[in-house]
Structure formats: structure tokens, C-alpha cells
Structure 1
Amino acid sequence: MKVDPIKDTTQSTTNDYSVGVDLGGTQIKAGLVLDNGDIIADLTIPSQANDGAEVVARNIAEAIHSLLDEIQATDRNLNSRSNESSNLIGRQEHVLGHLVGIGIGTPGLIIPSQGVVHFSPNFQGWRDIPLVNLVQQQLKPGIANLPIHIENDGNAMAYGELRQGAGIGMNDVVCLTLGTGVGGGIIIDGQIFHGNRYVGAELGHTIIFGDGRQCGCGNYGCLEAYVGGGQIVERTRAKIIKEVRRSPGLENQLRALTPQTIAEAAVDGDPVAIEIFAETARYIGIALTSFAHILNPQMVIIGGGVAAAGEKLLFEPIRVEVQQRAMDTNAESLQIVAAKLGNRAGLVGAAMLAQRQA
């Protein structure tokens, strides 16, 4: 199992660290994270989610063991060479420290207080899975009794951005992830908002059109039915094929379309691609207006693959839409910004949550 090398860091305050795990349908990303958010070692392995919860738990435990083996090997190496340079000594001080806990971010309806995945559509057959207990059973003696905190992956991502990303210094933040679907999390007074039954912050299922397109959830008019990555591709194909629209940059690659290729075509001036992203920004702006009125956050952080379309195509028109629709008192101080941590946000957030619980 390949572990990325231990990385130098210079700003840790206590040298305590935790393990962060970002569990996905195909991959497990795991890393050792210092109390300042620095990832000092990380790895990615297959999750094998289709093989059942026990296999996933075993893989999570193996990832944790590999990371800890790496840090122990580095410690031994640095100890043997500590007199070679002061830089090595400084590096050793940051590698050493106390492992205070493990954090796991995973898709689905999560009950953190019970360590249970109540339901996850990403993992077939996962209902009331005691994931924390399953992982603890697979851990080696000495770390099996460490506290493990489990959290919805959107919430973990939001917390990561709050603590170490675009939301540093904020207390009230909405984080929106635009990927294959639309997810995210809500932070109120610095705390994750879960809702009455831990099913709050289903941001992708905000209704933007009462009689709109059908969403995968069965409802109609959800934000996800318009701005999820697959839906952006579907809307583009529909304009070209059903509406017989000319699209010099896209019409010869209809089977290979992605949000990225559509964004690139828009930058190159393709009229259909430009229209698609104008609509996408409008739809997101409609949803953010509701968020602004209901929650009055300081900041909305937008991440995920679709957000890579950037300022001109996406963020600027979103801000304009919100300014035009929202009440002045709600819109004037609202910041709408890009996420900073990329695909590391969930891992960092899970690790920081583990440290908070320690």
C-alpha cells in the first residue's frame, strides 16, 4: 500500500495529529493531519464498497495502519540521523506527537453520536451499519480504543473549509459541492447543522422550480436536477440534439461530454456552452438566494468539479443573480467564494472533527 512521503510542516502548535478518512463509493482517501490542518502523509486505496461493510471497514483499518507504519518508520530514520542537521531535528519534532483520534467522512444519513451509517445510497445494502464498531474491531491493539468520529462527507468537507480553507475566520457558512450530484453542509455558530434527524443540509434538493425536471430523489425541480455534472451534460446534449442548435465546439464529441469540456468550449466562445453555464449560474443563484434569506450566512463556499469552471463562467454570474434576487440586507455582506482545499477538504474536515472531539 503506497503512502505519500511524510511532508515537512512548520506551524503545528501541539504536534498532536489525527487520522482523517474520506470514504467514497470507489476510493478511500486517508491522511495524517496535524492540529494546524497540514497533511503530513496520505494515501488512496480502493474502497471495495460493493463487497460489503466489513470489507470497507477492513480497508479503512489497513489504510490507518499503513499511515502509522510510515510515520513510525520516519521517526526511526530521523532519530538515527538527528545530529545531521537542525532542519532534521525540527522536522522530527513535527512528525512526533500524539495520535488523538480518527475521523471518517462518508456519504449518507449518518448518526455521529451512535457511530452508525443509517442509510447510504452510495453503498448497496447499507442500512444501520455500525461502521465505527466495525473499524475498531479491525484496528491493532494500541489504537483500537482511540475515539472515532463519523460524519456525513458533505459536513466533513464544510468543516474542513471552515477550519483550514476558504472559511477561516467565519462562523456561519454554507458549503456547496457541485460534482456528479450536489451536496454540501451548513455551519452555524461554528458548529455543523444536522437537523432534527440528522438529515438537514440536503442542499442539492432545494426546490428551484415547482414543476421542474424530475430529480433522482423522485421529486421535481431540485437544484441537483439542473446543476449536477451529469445534468449539465444532459442539458447540453438536449440543446444540440433536440433543439438542433449549432455548437462547433461540442457537436462532434457528444458522447464524451463532461462539465470540463463544456466549460472549455464556453471559454472558446461556443454559443451553446456559454448558454449552458449562464443557466447553471442562474439556477445556483436562485438556490443561494433562498440560503441567504433563510440562514443569512457570512459566506457560501462552492467546490467540486463543476466549480472549476471559474470566476467568469460561474462565480461572477452567480453573485450577480444573488444580488438581483436577494434582499439587500441579506445580500450586501454575503461572500460567495471558491473552495480552497479541493479534494482534500473531506479528509481534513474529518481529521479536524476528530481532534475537536478528543
Structure 2
Amino acid sequence: MYAKSNGPEPDVKVGERLFYGLISTGEGSNSCVSCHTMHTADTMNWNPSAVEMAKVAAEMDLATFKEHLLTPSGAMREKVHVKYQLDDEQLFHLQGYLKELSETGAKDKPMSINQLLIFLLLGGLMTIALVDLIFTKKIPYKAIHVLIIIFGVSFQLKIVAHEMIDLGRSEGYMPDQPIKFSHKVHAGDNKIDCLYCHSNADEGKSAGLPSAGLCMNCHQVVRNGSHSGQFEIGKVVDAYENNKDIEWVRIHNLPDHVFFSHAQHVNVGQRDCQECHGDVENMHILKQENDLSMSWCLDCHKETNVNFKGNDYYKTFEALHKDLAEGVRDSIKAADIGANDCMKCHH
């Protein structure tokens, strides 16, 4: 809870109702939560989350909070906040709720029915069918019991098999990042080359992440995002000016027993980033496009042609160069030069 003062205390429940639009905040205005959501979704919400916005509001006095909300600077907020009409008492209660939210955080997102519940439900149905088949014998048709048991066991085995196969894989992983960064805006709309930000991909094991200083090469000038306004870019500026690291969340992560080199693939193999990472230039929210399983890598090595011509890295494969020249082979696959040898990745 936020610190108590000697004056009147805000009614947090009233503030919560104002935030959710259960009490009018002005004719034709949107509720706060319609923009500043409690929980993230699969699509990019360019506005600050409710908790982020609450932390900012908690640091303001009431007069600054009023100015920030009712007469905001910045084109994005001006457009949205223009219809807000709140008196000082409502603002006092709303800020009180935001102060509490900044400390407690958002409540956990309600759980939806998932495979675990289906698994348990089927287990219950099979148990009932088995008990009735052997003991109670209320239903005279044994075929019904057998069908329930066969279907239940089959479906459960399928779930278990898929969960075991997916163990350690993160296909579709799309975590929240500390800054709402869009690859579509940067790599797609603005045509920034991948290696400008991930400069180590050409020569190192890891692709590397850009420092705040590199970001500031553009954001010294660009201080308003085309979608996000000032808030997200302000985080970059703050990190740069205060010499803080931006704690990005890693998305593509192989097990510790697997060796992978970006340089081997990007520089030597001359592979495009999209082959592994998907259509990145059209992703607002970056996600893991492929499962990165061993079979996925091995299949790629079996199918991918190696460009021997003009690449000094492959000049030691004299026999293969001879086969190409004499027409014995029309192509060389990555697997042909040892890409699928166990020790290449597990040494």
C-alpha cells in the first residue's frame, strides 16, 4: 500500500471504477483500461501498460497528474485524452487507485480451459466408465464404456506424446519486452539492416543486442514513435543518459548442450535471417517462429545447397569441387560436408 498522508484518503474503489469506465470520465471518452491494459495480448498494444502508467502517475503530485491527464503534451495523448472531463475529486480517487496498482501490480490473468483440464476431465470420465463397467453396472451397454475408455486413453496418450516432444522447445514464444520494440517498424518500414543492430551475427556465436547508445544514433532526433508516442522511446533515452542496460528478454534459446554459431550460418553459409527467425520485418512483436528442434536443423542441412563458388571457406573440399566440375554432382548439401555430424553441435 502507498504511504498514508495526514489529509483525506482517496477512495480506491471509486478510482478503480473510473479507470475501468464504470463511472463516466467524459462524454464520448474511452475508459483508461481500453488503452492501458492489465494483461498483454498477441497483438501489439502501443500504449503503456496499466502498471507502467500507474508507476509514472504515482510519482506525480495531484496538480501534475491533472495536467498530464487533461492537458497532455504529445500528439498521441492529446488525441486520446481530449474528451476526458474529471473534477479534482475524481482525479484524487483515480490517482489513489493508480498508486495502489503501482505497488501491488496487476492481478493474475484468469485461467482458461486448457489441455490439463481436458486431460483431467477425460480421466474422470474413464474412471466413472470403468467403475460402472465392473461394479455399479447402471448402463447396460458395455460398448459405451469401452468407447469412452478407448477414446480417453488415446487422447491422453496423444497429449502426453506432444508434451514430451515439445519439452524444452518454445515455438511461438512471445514474451513481453521492457520496451515495446517493433521489428516491423525498424526492419520493415524503415529498412534497417539486421546487422546494423545485431552486428555480431556476422562474426560471432551470438547475434548480439544493440546498446542504448546505438539506438540513440537515430533517437537523438526521433523522439516520437509513429505508434507509441514518447513513452517507449523515453525508456531508451533514460537508459542511455543514466548508463543503464536495457534488460531484453531472450526469445531464441537453445539447450546448453547445443553449440550454434551465427557466424557459421550468416557469414560462411550466407543464410538469410528469415530462414530461422521467420518474417521478422513484418512482426511488431517478435516471436520464435520455428521449434529449433534437432530434426528441424538436420532437415535443413539435408535440403540446403552450399554455395561453393567464390567462397574460400570451402576451398579445402577438393574432391567435391572436382565432382561439381565434372558433373558428378549438381549440388552440395550442408549434410555432405559434415553439417549433420554429431560433434558439430555436441562437442
The question of a shared fold, defined as TM-score above 0.5 by the shorter chain, is answered with: no
Q: Which has the higher contact order (CA 8 A, sep 6+)?
A: 1
Q: TM-score, normalised by structure 2?
A: 0.21
* Structure richer in strand, relative to its length: 1
TM-score, normalising length from structure 1? 0.21
Higher Cα Rg, which structure: 2
Higher helix fraction (1 or 2): 2
